[in-house]
């Protein structure tokens, strides 16, 4: 009987397994419902190159990911920013160096943007990222959406469009679907809006990985050998002070403890006996995952660089950053 059953082989579950091993606990099993590991990272190939179909970037606040990459010898490289980006918002187009989209805004827009930045910083000042609900205005901010905040505070149509793009790009959800408290928490936990949206040095989209981010997860999984069991969706967990029984369609696992490392939206698919506490059940039932489509396009060579462009675009209705990682020889 294993001491611990870990449910889910995404980065959270794989990291939990590493933590157990670091404490000298090798008697565990990791159960993954899908035929692959990695969770929200996923391997793919295009034009003979390994690519990430899921998460792919590393920012400055992701120090644990940086340490993992160094431990497994997975090297990173900076996003290509030499040249001009293309921005088009509310019918106006601008080509600016690197990530510079300032030319798309009027002097009044820029002044209002600086004022909005100060407003956001002031709201974030009292926010504790470890307990965002303790914010003095938590109930008020959580009862309004980013969209309603924009309508109250932003006069410029172009700036409203920009913030809507940022919300979609960062949270994969419309501004009308995200609470202002959630948005403020995300911004502060990422060291500020300018860091989160940037691919320059110090920005959240600054570095990609040779071989793909998914290769780090695969290296973690390779260390588990037969302690990792794929295609084992957990159907029920019986738990008590004496231990747990984890049931799949083909096997039962008894252990002293279980670590459920799956997204909150998937937890309701598991039956718990006894039931999880009501507040936790309500939270799992009401949370929604972001939704976004990612696609890759392969070209024989990055011809846009010959024309002085980076490959980064900001279209009118959706934020789309196309930093294509091509071999240095291309």
**Domain residue limits, the chain:** 4-56+212-286, 78-209+297-314
How far apart are alpha carbons 178 and 167 in whole angstroms? 8
How many other C-beta atoms can be found within 10 angstroms of the C-beta atom of residue 210? 14
User: For residue 323, is pLDDT > 70?
Assistant: no
Q: What is the pLDDT of residues 96-140, one digit of tens each?
A: 999 998 899 999 999 999 999 899 999 999 999 999 999 999 999
pLDDT digits (tens, 9 = 90+) for 241-289: 999 999 998 999 999 999 999 999 999 999 999 999 999 999 888 888 8
Which one of 1.20.1250.20, 3.40.30.10, 3.40.190.10, 3.90.660.10 gives the CATH number of domain 78-209+297-314?
3.90.660.10
Supply the pLDDT for residue 61.
87
What is the C-alpha separation between 43 and 57, in angstroms, rounded? 14
Q: Could you tell me the two tokens for 55?
A: 């998460």
Q: How far, in Å, are 111, 132, 230, 312 from residue 319 at the CA level?
A: 22, 27, 35, 10
Question: What whole-number distance in Å separates Cα of residue 131 and Cα of residue 93?
Answer: 41
Q: Give per-residue pLDDT as tens, 297-316.
A: 999 999 999 999 999 887 64
Residue for token digits 């793909």? 212
Phi, then psi, of 99 in degrees rounded to 5: -115, 15
Say yes or no to pLDDT of 329 above 70. no
pLDDT tens-digit map of 161-178: 999 999 998 999 999 999
Which pairing describes strands 92-97 and 84-89: parallel, antiparallel, or unpaired?
A: antiparallel
C-alpha span between 163 and 159 (Å, rounded): 6
What percentage of the chain exceeds 70 in pLDDT? 95
Residue 82: Cβ within 10 Å count: 10
Residue 81: how many CA atoms within 13 Å on its side-chain side?
18
CB 31 within 8 A of CB 234: yes
Phi/psi-derived region of residue 199, left when phi > 0, alpha when psi is between -120 and 50, beta in every other case? alpha
Q: Which CATH superfamily is domain 4-56+212-286 in?
A: FAD/NAD(P)-binding domain (3.50.50.60)
Q: CA geometry: angle at 13 spanning 12 and 14, to 5°?
A: 95
């Amino acid at each position: 009987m294993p001491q611990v059953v870990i449910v889910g082989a995404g980065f959270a579950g794989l990291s939990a397994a590493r933590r157990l091993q670091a404490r000298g606990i090798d008697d565990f099993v990791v159960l993954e419902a899908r035929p692959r590991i990695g969770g929200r990272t996923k391997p793919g190939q295009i034009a003979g190159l390994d690519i990430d179909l899921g998460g792919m970037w590393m920012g400055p606040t992701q120090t644990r990911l940086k340490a993992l990459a160094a431990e497994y010898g997975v090297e990173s490289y900076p996003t290509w920013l030499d040249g001009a980006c293309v921005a088009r918002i509310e019918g106006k187009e601008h080509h600016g160096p690197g990530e510079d989209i300032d030319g798309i805004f009027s002097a009044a827009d820029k002044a209002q943007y600086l004022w909005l930045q100060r407003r956001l910083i002031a709201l974030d000042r009292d926010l504790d990222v470890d307990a965002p609900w303790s914010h003095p205005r938590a109930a008020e901010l959580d009862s309004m959406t980013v969209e309603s905040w924009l309508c109250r505070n932003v006069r410029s149509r172009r700036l409203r469009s920009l913030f809507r793009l940022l919300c979609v790009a960062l949270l994969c959800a419309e501004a009308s679907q995200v609470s202002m408290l959630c948005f403020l928490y995300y911004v502060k936990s990422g060291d500020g809006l300018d860091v989160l949206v940037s691919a320059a040095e110090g920005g959240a989209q600054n570095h990609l990985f040779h071989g793909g981010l998914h290769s780090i997860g695969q290296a973690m999984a390779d260390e588990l050998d037969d302690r990792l069991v794929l295609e084992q969706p957990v159907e029920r967990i019986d738990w008590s002070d004496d231990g747990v029984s984890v049931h799949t369609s083909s096997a039962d696992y008894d252990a002293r403890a279980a670590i459920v490392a799956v997204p909150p939206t998937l937890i309701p698919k598991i039956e718990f006996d006894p039931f999880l506490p009501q507040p936790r059940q309500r939270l799992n039932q009401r949370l929604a995952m972001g939704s976004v489509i990612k696609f890759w396009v392969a070209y024989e060579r990055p011809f846009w660089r010959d024309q002085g462009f980076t490959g980064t675009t900001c279209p009118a209705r959706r934020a789309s950053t196309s930093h294509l990682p091509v071999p240095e020889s291309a």
